[in-house]
Structure 1
Amino acid sequence: MPIALITGASAGLGAEFAHQLAARGADLILVARGVDALEALAAELRGTYGVSADVIAADLSVEADVEIVAARLRDVRNPVDLLVNNAGFGLPLQFADNDIDAEVRHLRVHVEASMRLMHAALQTMRGRGGRIINVASVAGFISRSTYSACKSWLIGFSRWANAEYARDNVTVTAVCPGFTHTTFHERMGLARGEEGIPGILWLNAEDVVREGLRDAARGRAVSVPSLRYKVVVALTGILPRSLTSGVARRGRV
């Protein structure tokens, strides 16, 4: 059975990746901060799909915890076939109004942890083959604060790595959803609808993950789920940055 390691697996897109991969027969390693939620999800997946589901409780803003996960990815005796870098969180205020320590944790989780875990995964994937999925965002195509900057880095690095390691039979895909119905916004203290975004722009987690897995299987460097967001991304390439960044202030993608 293939083995998939998913960070931020206890809720949202991470939990949806876990369900869809388990339904395909993959054994799982679930990573998140809250061990109770992870254990509950692991038990559900074992019972529903008959797969193995191990749990690693780790805070990816802490270097020692990142190293625990990286060590599992470097294990050549039981190698991981798919890494899903999904862990992340948003900040409720503009950059200058947020606590700087919170901004640093935000950067560590989205960029540093993802980079370290990719590096670890490549130690066992090169030559043998494997897939890496980095959950980015449509926000990565728009100039807006540190969240957009982090996601832009993930997209650019994924594009480079997908081309660089194709010779080693490793694909790297940045999945870039738009607004998606998960607990992401609630964890920032925002009620559904508070972002002021029209209903037509909201996506379902099931569709985002399904399309992301499909594009990863096809070896695509960037996956933008849904036609509506493909159009949005295309427009960001031709519209003035002052306009797109102004629109982006209305909500958090």
Structure 2
Amino acid sequence: MAFGEIFYWELLGTGMLVLLGCGVVANVLLPRNKGFGGGWLLINFGWGLAVFAGVYVAAASGAHINPAVTIGLAVQGDVTEWSDVPAYILGQMTGAIIGAVIVYFAYKLQFDAGEEPALKLGVFSTGPEVRSYGWNFLTEVVGTFVLVFVVMSIGPHPIDIGPLAVALLVVGIGASLGGPTGYAINPARDLGPRIAHAFLPIKGKGSSDWGYSWVPVAGPIVGGILAGLLGSAVF
């Protein structure tokens, strides 16, 4: 598949992922919402269904919608060529930023009504409950390893194992391993919206917490690489 085609489909799929995923967080965290206070499980299921939609939309490109998946599959070496990796990641990052911007406009009145900067940042990006960069990094490595390794165990792309299966996997990871860090398990899902948070004119938004931003990028990449290495030996 050509660079432009990969970029296009990954942009659409990741944009849908972030639009629905960050959207459910906004619904739960921001005041004056129908879903306000809906809780962690609503966020888990919302992100799972966001993955479900994103995988369907990006089916033509293999539906990676996650740089960790792309890199893990390239390390495994069976399907994804290293020469295609830039197209995947550029599409994923662009889509993530666009999806986050749309969430802001959809929830503009709620962002304006809220007074807590941390909750506004939480709509866009992840953050730890207990800040310890080493342990937070390890949590992201483990969660992403599970995601990528299970995907590899069933098929070479998320679309091959079925969008619903991937969605339930993400719900399971969130319910089991998501508590310490909010389970980014996807560098684009965290970094793209964090960039959007930095430039959007969000009322009273506060810091974008760049000091933590490397954790949900580096952790998932390492987890994807480890899954790819083990997957190349096992599968």
TM-score (norm 2): 0.31
Higher helix share: 2
Structure with bigger gyration radius: 1
Which structure carries more relative contact order (alpha carbon 8 Å, separation 6+)?
A: 2
| Higher strand residue share | 1
